[in-house]
A and B are shown apart, each in its own frame.
Chain A
Amino acid sequence: NAGVTQTPKFQVLKTGQSMTLQCAQDMNHEYMSWYRQDPGMGLRLIHYSVGAGITDQGEVPNGYNVSRSTTEDFPLRLLSAAPSQTSVYFCASSPRTGAYQPQHFGDGTRLSIL
């Protein structure tokens, strides 16, 4: 049981390049989310999904796209990378139940935009 797996762990991009951050979970969780964490700050929600085919915007969605074609995968796409998107990106998942279930986080992708 791998939990939440994020790839790559590190990436350096040039301004204007595009790329996709991968997130996969093997726990059959309905909910998945993407956060970014800037130095000295807490996590901020980018996009989230409550199930396959359903996505919505979080607090800081500009410059990012997501899709959820399967329960397991929730990729985050940077359309045209900007230095302001240099950050650590975390993916999380949780099950949909009647009671609170904690989010399970991946180990993060450290992204630098030059």
Chain B
Amino acid sequence: GAGVSQSPSNKVTEKGKDVELRCDPISGHTALYWYRQSLGQGLEFLIYFQGNSAPDKSGLPSDRFSAERTGGSVSTLTIQRTQQEDSAVYLCASSPGPGDTDTQYFGPGTRLTVL
């Protein structure tokens, strides 16, 4: 079946502009995650959505970052007033939901470059 999809695959923007990154999770998955991967680094947790519960935003690096998930499916990560240090690959993952073996499946990522 279809996996996690993300768009755009690449985004180049100028410093100070806002960007929106989209994630379409696997159908039926109730949990959705955003991670950031900087060059040569592991993945850094940003935010987690589970069903209708309040999201865990504890990983968002600043108030310029926000995310929403509409209708329990598609999610959008928004970065306002982008800075050069925001350049990274932004990965989305989804999973079936809470449980002992709740495997996260990742999308291909959006490579963001801030000039």
Q: Is chain B found bound to chain A in the same assembly?
A: no
| B residues at A contact (CB < 8 Å) | none
Q: What is the interface of chain A, defined by CB distance below 8 A to chain B?
A: none
